[in-house]
Amino acid sequence: MAEWNEEITEALYQGAWNALIEMGASKRNISRVNVPGSFELPLGAQRLAEQKKVDAVICLGCVIQGDTPHFDYICQATSYGIMKVGLKTGKPVVFGVLTTLNTQQALDRAGGKLGNKGEEAAVTAVAML
């Protein structure tokens, strides 16, 4: 989980956690690893996916557009990196990263009026297994 935009990523994590528990996952089988930001998610995911005891990785983060093209570079690199880890390891590596135009859009997708994309990422991970 990315620590940047922590209020949002924590809400995504809680959504994922709750969904995994509701689907029957054991608390002891759920691991959490934090990375500084979304750009670092692919390396964190790779380190986890390479472990034999790990069945799937759910990458949670939030990138909010600013006034520069930095947003575009981070989003592209993050999505590509996460995809590469899944293809390389053959394990489900789920893209649970919000890429929004503003903070309100992120809040709406992290437990707000549009649901919780962390929950959706957990459901996707289980479906891929």
Residue 105 belongs to domain with CATH number: 3.40.50.960
Structural domain contains residue 89: yes
Angle, helix 70-89 to helix 41-49, in steps of 10 degrees: 10
Structural domain contains residue 43: yes
Structural domain contains residue 24: yes
**Average pLDDT across the chain, whole number:** 95
Q: Please, are residues 80 and 91 in contact by the beta-carbon 8 Å criterion?
A: no
Structural domain contains residue 1: no
Looking at residue 69, its pLDDT comes to 84
Q: Total domain count for the chain?
A: 1
Structural domain contains residue 12: yes
Spatial CA neighbour of 64 closest among 38, 85, 41: 38
Structural domain contains residue 116: yes
103: containing domain: 6-127
What is the set of active-site residues?
70
- pLDDT tens track for 57-93: 999 999 999 888 888 899 999 999 999 999 999 999 9
CB atoms within 10 A of CB 110: 27
Looking at residue 82, its pLDDT comes to 98
Looking at residue 74, its pLDDT comes to 94
Spatial CA neighbour of 55 closest among 78, 25, 11: 25
Q: Please, are residues 2 and 82 in contact by the beta-carbon 8 Å criterion?
A: no
Structural domain contains residue 19: yes
Structural domain contains residue 61: yes
pLDDT > 90: what percent of the chain? 91
For residue 4 the two structure tokens come to 């940047």
Q: What is the pLDDT along the chain (129 residues), one digit of tens a residue?
A: 888 999 999 999 999 999 999 999 999 999 999 999 999 999 999 999 999 999 999 999 999 998 888 888 999 999 999 999 999 999 999 999 999 999 999 999 999 999 999 999 999 999 999
